[in-house]
Amino acid sequence: MKLFIPLLLICFSLGCKKSETIAENITESKSTTQLIENPTDFYEKLSNAAISIIDPEVVYTPAYVGIKYPNGDVPAKTGVCTDVVIRAYRKLGIDLQKEVHEDMKANFSIYPNLEKWGLKTTDKNIDHRRVPNLEVFFSRKGESLPIIQNPKDYKTGDLVTWMIGDKLPHIGIVTHLKSENGNPMIVHNVGRGQVLEDCLLSWKIVGHFRYNK
């Protein structure tokens, strides 16, 4: 039986913004979003996929869960930040569970293995749901882009990782939608469901990627 892994080293915020500011920035209804009509670019399709899974009722659930392989997923109304990315890519026919597992199996030593994880081999249930692993995978199989504080440098379909409070990894997808300030809106889950939020510069950016298999 697996031990409970606090937060799975994935993502959770204890309050990075005042609640009233967060509430203003979150779009909780799919009806208020706008998809790109007839997207032809992969990253536009990824943005649409991310927006299509917006669901504030998803309960942030960081406990270890056994899932099937490939194309395994935790229960639909649960998940963490990495599950947003996994679910969006699955809508485009890309199974990150399988892709990450196969790369980790062949290159286990180059992936992070924090002491608290206690891993001696890969784990199909959780490897792809850990932000540090996704950062290595996207840097190896996709593009690593500059980490800049200018929101204009973050394009539709980019993947961004943050470190919240210097200890909690987080990840989200940049969409084509813009906030009132002109910032790219992010689909992510930091504990309030799968939502759309103006949060690019809310935390320390530690990773910037693009990935298309």
Per residue in 149-161, pLDDT (tens digit) is: 999 999 999 999 9
Name which of 100, 77, 87 is nearest 46 in CA terms.
87
Q: For residue 110, give the DSSP letter.
A: G
The angle at the Cα of 140, spanning 197 to 49, to the nearest 5 degrees, equals 35
In 3-state terms, what secondary structure has residue 169? strand
pLDDT digits (tens, 9 = 90+) for 55-88: 999 999 999 999 999 999 999 999 999 999 999 9
How confident is the model at residue 64, as a pLDDT?
A: 93
Rounded Cα distance, 73 and 66, in Å: 9
- Quick one: pLDDT band at residue 33, thresholds 50, 70, 90? low
pLDDT digits (tens, 9 = 90+) for 102-126: 999 999 989 998 776 778 899 999 9
Mean pLDDT over each residue of the chain, to the nearest integer: 88
Rounded Cα distance, 109 and 113, in Å: 8
How confident is the model at residue 19, as a pLDDT?
A: 36
Using alpha carbons, list the distances in angstroms from residue 102 to 33, 96, 184: 35, 10, 32
Asked if pLDDT for residue 18 goes beyond 50, the answer is no
Asked if pLDDT for residue 9 goes beyond 90, the answer is no
- Spatial neighbors of 113 by CB under 8 A, at least 6 apart, are 119
- Spatial neighbors of 182 by CB under 8 A, at least 6 apart, are 151
